[in-house]
Structure 1
């Protein structure tokens, strides 16, 4: 029904980029997930990727921020693919469980040291409008994927969009708390209450019974 393992948050598809450019992008994603945009420098990226400085500027002539924007784009594409796998069927509760399980595995695999690269990009984009737009575009893709599934399940367009946005916000907030507490409990709490919200919205309305007058 759903993929047992979604693409990792820091993985970049082989077909999309090759060689040094691929390493630069994937290493940038990994560093941003741990340090954020501001604390990730060109020297750090070069050291982790093993690429030459000249190679970095050949691929990204505008330097660090161009690389950050492209890394956000590729991380977002992989994670959107994962979410679309989760929402392919018409079972929002199952999709939510798969999405939460995915993020719990991401958190524990890196010992709670890495967050969501899209959230990190958004937080580091205050002086880079293009990076902010890229992060917003990814979040919009996630909202759209969830909203489309909710519409297929019977919600109206406005309600589906609002609940989808709330779901993404709740999960992203839980991820931050997971890092702080070094625990998946915040994701478990988000799962519990999001599931309750879904049940309320997806349940058919209960019609009041009017007793006949005697």
Structure 2
């Protein structure tokens, strides 16, 4: 596939991500994706012959990688005195900035689809689960580096991930960063 084809494919995935995060799986139609991306209809089925579910799966996978990259970037920027609690605080700040800049239409790029289709669509449930697992693993690895035994690190990373997800949901509903600030403080206390 040439550069133009890759660009068209990327536009389709980006439009799908943006629309799904704001409107959910059911609320996002393929016509909207085509309009938002500016791609011709034939390109959609050329790049995603499996239709909407294949496109959504790719969008979820990309979203998972994006947050994973954010976690890795924040981890790499840590100083010697920073710990996992500082990382979680910075992560919540970055996600809060993203949410606020979107007018509270964006939160977790996986959550809406995960809640909407995880009981009825195994491939999309798996894409969401893989994204969450990657984030949890990144946090657990950081905790192991800080001296946690692997089982405790995994459990603590899971609890922190639940705090992040819950804080994002509440912040979006309340249209306020307060839940993110509270979640960051709770994560710091958990990891103290």
- Fold shared, TM-score > 0.5 on shorter chain: yes
Residue of structure 1 equivalent to 2:67? 79
Say what the alpha-carbon RMSD is for the aligned residues: 1.5
Partner of 1:63: 51
* Residue in 1 that maps onto 2:87: 95
Match of 1:24? 12
Paired residue secondary structure (2:110): helix
Counterpart check, 1:162 vs 2:118: no
Asked which structure has the greater CA Rg, the reply is 1
Asked if the contact 2:95–2:107 (Cα under 8 Å) also holds between the matched residues in 1, the reply is: no
Equivalent pairs counted in the alignment come to: 184
Q: Offset of 1:124 from its aligned partner?
A: 2.7
TM-score normalized with structure 2 length: 0.91
Match of 2:133 among 133, 140, 156: 140
Partner of residue 178 from structure 1, selected from 165, 168, 171: 171
- Structure 1 residue 121, shift from structure 2 partner: 2.4
Aligned counterpart, 1:202: none
Aligned to 2:21: 33
Q: CA deviation at 1:87?
A: 2.6
Partners of 1:176 and 1:96 in 2: how far apart?
Answer: 16
Tell whether 2:139 aligns with 1:124. Answer: no
Counterpart of 2:107? 115
Task: Please tell me whether the aligned partners of residues 116 and 175 of structure 1 are also in contact (alpha carbons under 8 angstroms).
Answer: yes
Is the CA contact 2:136–2:154 (under 8 Å) kept in the aligned structure 1? yes
Aligned-partner Cα distance in 1 for 2:75–2:112 = 24
Consecutive unaligned residues in structure 1, runs of 5 or more: 1-14, 200-214
Query: 2:42 & 2:62 partners in 1: Cα distance?
Result: 22
Q: Take 2:121 and 2:173, find their aligned partners in 1: how far apart are those partners?
A: 27
Partner of 2:184: 191
Tell me the TM-score normalized by structure 1: 0.82
